[in-house]
Structure 1
Amino acid sequence: MMNRNFNRRKKFIFFLPVAVLIVAVLGYVVMFLWNWILPEVAHAGKLNYWQALGLLVLCRLLFGNFNKGGGHNGFRERARGMRAKWDSMNEEERAKFKEEYKRRCGGWGHHRNKE
């Protein structure tokens, strides 16, 4: 037990500065790219370092996190589950599903049937 806690502390002491360094570098990369590209292309103002970090936080809040898989929120797992459901349906159930999908979702630019 004592050894496990010691290893956790060592990992924390190592990974905390690494995480801070990664965030700092990402902030500078965002600032550099923004100030290099957007003022000329989109006539946007220049960012300072703190604004770039704020932009990173805003993107994380709006689009998801920075971990593996991004902000998909289990999309692949739901897609696999839906595929398994579809594969287990017979032709009649598939036709019924398609009709219900058309009724609920419709096509773009088409008005839905009101019931």
Structure 2
Amino acid sequence: MKQFFYKGRFIFIPIAVAAFLSLISFAVMQLWNDLLPDILHVATITFWQAMGIFILCKILFGFGKGGRGRNPWGGNPWGGNPRMRNKMQERFKSMTPEEKEKFKQKMRDRANCGPRGADMAMMLLTREWDGFEAESAKQNMNN
């Protein structure tokens, strides 16, 4: 039974990919033909043109690698890597107050790279680093 599934995947996977591509191309064609001629006054397209547009968009804009760590202004400022976050937490806990302030200032200076850069950097630093200080103070009091 296991051997059947192993051999069958070489037939099933290409058929599934072709079916998915056909379904997406049909959806692109329908949406294009239903919306764009009335809105932008463009010509209607065929199934094969829709498939070409879909493939071209995938090549130009990527194939989607998920949403983790892609938002630079929210969530974890280290891109979702928990090991890096833990490493930075440990380093920050072992710093003196003067070193912490110097580090924060360096991060503020480095992040000031656009019209919103300084504000966002300040928000991230204040939210993230002040939380670490409060957590470490609580842990020290409990120990």
TM-score by length of 1: 0.68
**2:36 is the alignment partner of 1:41:** no
Deviation at 1:106, TM superposition (A): 2.7
Partner of 2:103: 93
**1:8-23, aligned counterparts within 5 Å?**
8-23=6-21
**Highest CA radius of gyration, 1 or 2?**
2
RMSD: 3.1
CA contact (8 A) 2:68 2:79 kept: no
Deviation at 1:73, TM superposition (A): 9.1
**Secondary structure, in 3 states, of the residue corresponding to 1:79?**
coil
Aligned counterparts of 1:91 and 1:43: Cα–Cα separation in 2: 59
Partner of 2:79: 79
**Secondary structure, in 3 states, of the residue corresponding to 1:12?**
helix
For structure 1, the residue ranges without an aligned partner over 5 or more in a row are 109-115
Aligned counterparts of 1:11 and 1:26: Cα–Cα separation in 2: 22
- Residue identity in the other structure for 2:109: E
TM-score by length of 2: 0.56
Deviation at 1:29, TM superposition (A): 0.7
- Residue identity in the other structure for 1:75: R
| Count of matched residue pairs | 100
Deviation at 1:86, TM superposition (A): 5.9
For structure 2, the residue ranges without an aligned partner over 5 or more in a row are 93-99, 117-143
- Residue identity in the other structure for 1:106: G
Aligned counterparts of 1:35 and 1:16: Cα–Cα separation in 2: 28
